[in-house]
């Protein structure tokens, strides 16, 4: 049974008491973004520690999953003018939290479904429209398998949907010293959330250019590719 909270602040406090949130940067950023604005009313409580459907076959991840990923990214995401790519940005929530974690960062949210991107922009405009107006956050329609090569390289690449194998095009867009986190595995089965650090400028096929670390077993919706 997941934990339930009545407010955004209570949710953050609970994640801290459970040892999921450990850094002040993550706590501050998540506290500043009300998860209610990114959930569909009438599903679960937006502050329950559980994934929630947002339409179009997509979900917003459970708060503890977002917090775990943010903690793993905190040193990379808070670098000066960090460039951050959030693939499968869905509701827009995590993209906004990245933007609040580092006000000097450039954050790109990418999703294949145009209607979902429109919905995410509407979500952001409820209380976080300053990020859109400043240009620090861009929510775009695009293929997550392809990424945004013209906007890279990226310090952070987060993928919020499961790929059957690691997309090589995303590895090519990862900056040396950058970090990617993504779930890998077959649809509808147990997948592995993995962390990939780029340590040299070798091609994506060069295993020596990357260090891969398994994190935990997960189950995400699939990372869908464009029919193109």
Task: Give the pLDDT confidence score for residue 42 in this predicted structure.
Answer: 67
Q: Which helix (H) or strand (E) holds 85?
A: strand 83-87
Q: For residue 162, what is the DSSP state? A: B
Number of domains in the chain: 1
Of 105, 137, 114, the C-alpha closest to 124 is 137
**For the chain, what is the total number of helices (H) and then of strands (E)?**
7, 9
pLDDT single digits (tens) 20-60: 999 999 999 999 999 999 998 766 789 999 999 999 889 99
Please give the pLDDT value at position 202. 85
Task: Give the C-alpha separation, 228 to 225, whole Å.
Answer: 8
3-class secondary-structure state, position 152? coil
Q: Is 19 left (phi over 0), alpha (psi -120 to 50) or beta?
A: left
Q: Taking a C-beta distance cutoff of 8 angstroms, is the pair 126, 155 a contact?
A: no
- Rounded to a whole number, what is the distance in angstroms from the first to the last CA of the chain? 41
Residue 107 lies in a domain: yes
Question: What pLDDT shows up at residue 225?
Answer: 80
Asked if the structure places residue 158 within a domain, the reply is yes
Which mean pLDDT values do the consecutive 10-residue runs of the chain (228 residues) have?
81 96 98 96 83 91 96 97 96 98 97 96 98 98 96 97 93 97 90 96 91 94 76
Rounded distance between C-alpha atoms, residue 47 and residue 37, angstroms:
11
160 in a domain, yes or no?
yes
Residue 31 structure tokens: 């506290």
Q: What is the CATH number of the domain that holds 185?
A: 3.40.50.150
Q: Give, as one character, the DSSP assignment of residue 25.
A: H
List 5, 52, 61, 91, catalytic entry: 61
Give domain status of residue 41, yes or no. Answer: no
Measured torsion, CA atoms of residues 118, 178, 213, 204, in degrees rounded to the nearest 10: 90
Is 131 a member of any domain?
yes
φ/ψ of 70, rounded to 5, equals: -60, -40
Quote the tokens at residue 194: 């993995």
Domain span at residue 184 reads 67-218
Residue 133 maps to a domain: yes
Is 200 one of the annotated active-site residues of the chain?
no
Residues 130-168: b if buried by 16+ CB within 10 A, e if exposed:
ebbeeebbbbeebbbbbbbeeebbbbbbbbbbbbeebbe
Residue 225: inside a domain: no
Domain assignment of residue 223, yes or no: no
Residue 207 to residue 204: CA distance in whole angstroms: 7
């Amino acid at each position: 049974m997941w934990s339930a909270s009545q407010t955004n602040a209570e949710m953050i406090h609970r994640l801290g008491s459970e040892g999921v949130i450990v850094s002040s940067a993550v706590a501050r950023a998540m506290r500043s973004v009300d998860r209610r604005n990114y959930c569909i009313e009438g599903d679960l409580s937006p502050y329950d520690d559980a994934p929630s459907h947002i339409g179009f076959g997509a979900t917003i991840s459970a708060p503890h999953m977002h917090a775990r990923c943010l903690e793993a990214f905190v040193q990379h995401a808070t670098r000066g003018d960090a460039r951050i790519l959030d693939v499968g940005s869905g509701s827009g929530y995590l993209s906004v939290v990245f933007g609040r974690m580092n006000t000097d960062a450039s954050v790109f949210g990418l999703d294949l479904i145009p209607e979902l991107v429109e919905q995410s922009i509407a979500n952001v405009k409820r209380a976080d429209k300053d990020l859109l107006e400043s240009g620090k956050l861009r929510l775009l329609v695009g293929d997550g398998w392809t990424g945004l090569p013209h906007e890279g390289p990226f310090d952070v690449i987060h993928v919020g949907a499961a790929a059957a194998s690691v997309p090589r095009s995303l590895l090519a867009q990862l900056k040396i010293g950058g970090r990617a986190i993504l779930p890998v595995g077959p649809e509808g089965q147990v997948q592995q959330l993995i962390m990939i650090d780029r340590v040299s400028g070798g091609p994506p096929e060069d295993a020596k250019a990357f260090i891969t670390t398994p994190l935990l077993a997960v189950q995400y919706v699939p990372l869908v590719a464009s029919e193109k």
